[in-house]
Structure 1
Amino acid sequence: MTRRRFFNIRSSLTVVFDDDVTAEEKNKNKIWKVALLFDSVLFGCRSQERPIHLNIDEMIVPFSGQCGIRQYCPGKPNPVCIKIFVLATPDGIVLDMLLYQRKTIFPDLIDAGYTLGEAAIICLYDTLVAGHFLYFNRYFTTVKLADVLLEKGYHRTGTMARNRILKNCLLFMKRSRGTTETKCRNDGTVNIIRWLDK
């Protein structure tokens, strides 16, 4: 090995001593051995320019090795994976992310009655200022989350699963293809639009 290559490897190598990390920190942060690398990537993501329209979604990273945060997601092309909640631009540039670490990721918000998707969005919008337009899929969309985001000054748009629509909101059941219908809450802050495309 050449001297130059040795110094390049030495300058890029980081050593974490197991005894320097307490058992409580190990339980709280499942990726404590690579936390410095993850934090440096996160710092680079958070320093990017933030446009007004943003997307929040989950990113599935295929992984088949041994890891405490590995997930099994049936129906995905690579079902064994690591799940990351991501705040991104419409072009796909990652601006912020949260690594899903099972029960240790949002203990306070889950105890307060939020779902996992709601808690992920609440944690991801902490780095934003009011006025952004947030778009997300049905995994995250609830009426409760719409109220929280409206209270904080964010605009939101998302697809919604049929079982999350309020029971007293009667939208059409049997209509022809191409039909649309809109229901608006009494205060005018939440609209539900349904269309038949099949």
Structure 2
Amino acid sequence: MYWSRLLDLPLINDTLTPDTYFKLCNHLHFVNNLHDQDRGDKLWKVRPVINVFRNKCLALPRSKHLSIDEQMIPFSGRCAMRTCVPSKPNPLGLKNFILETSEGLVLDFIIYTGKGTVPDTELKEIDLGASVIKLLTVTVPNNGQHVIYSDRFFTDIKSIELLLSNNISNRYCNEKQND
């Protein structure tokens, strides 16, 4: 777009050719490929960027009303973790589990990488939805003031028991407790 005739930006057009830009993009690395990396981590090449972004999210204050949901990071390139969820507005991309405020501010996230997203020891006791809830609510204070809203993927008996044991309410738990 920077080099199109409609959006001509002289600062970019006069400084950098499209070929030079694409050469730079092809050689942009966040880790040294020659060093031994954790090859079990499918995101090892971008893990430093993910960690910086996640640490900034974790530093944000926690509000009373929180939501756990999944979102799609739009991506149409080649990637083993790319999934298609037809019911989403952006159906093709990377699946991301998020903890967010009622205003939509992301407080924590886990990028779904298939098997290995959640440690195997977690999955022996509880399913994927409850495991994600357990990992995302680690930073939520258990002072009894927080309510987690979620859809049916994250709402089962194990998830509710997990939230109640951490002194966190769930909208389904509140309805049960009122009976």
State the TM-score, normalizing by the size of structure 1.
0.69
Structure 2 residue aligned with 1:146? 160
- The CA deviation at 1:151 is 1.3
Q: Check if 1:34 corresponds to 2:49.
A: no
Q: What value does the CA root-mean-square deviation take over the aligned residues?
A: 2.3
Structure 2 residue aligned with 1:196? none
Question: CA deviation digits over 1:76-112, x for unaligned, max 9?
Answer: 3332211111111100000111111111111221122
Q: Distance in 1 between matches of 2:32 and 2:110?
A: 24
1:138 touches 1:158 (CA, 8 Å); kept in 2? no
1:134 touches 1:155 (CA, 8 Å); kept in 2? yes
State the TM-score, normalizing by the size of structure 2.
0.75
Q: Check if 1:108 corresponds to 2:121.
A: yes
Alignment gaps of 5+ in structure 1: 3-8, 160-181, 192-198
Aligned length: 151
Q: Distance in 2 between matches of 1:94 and 1:148?
A: 22
Alignment gaps of 5+ in structure 2: 1-14, 17-23
SS at match of 2:138: helix
Q: Check if 1:50 corresponds to 2:62.
A: yes
Q: Check if 1:81 corresponds to 2:93.
A: yes
Mark the CA change 1:124 to 1:190 in structure 2 (over 3 Å): closer, same or farther.
farther
1:57 touches 1:87 (CA, 8 Å); kept in 2? yes
Structure 2 residue aligned with 1:17? 32
Mark the CA change 1:139 to 1:14 in structure 2 (over 3 Å): closer, same or farther.
same
- The CA deviation at 1:14 is 5.4
1:85 touches 1:97 (CA, 8 Å); kept in 2? yes
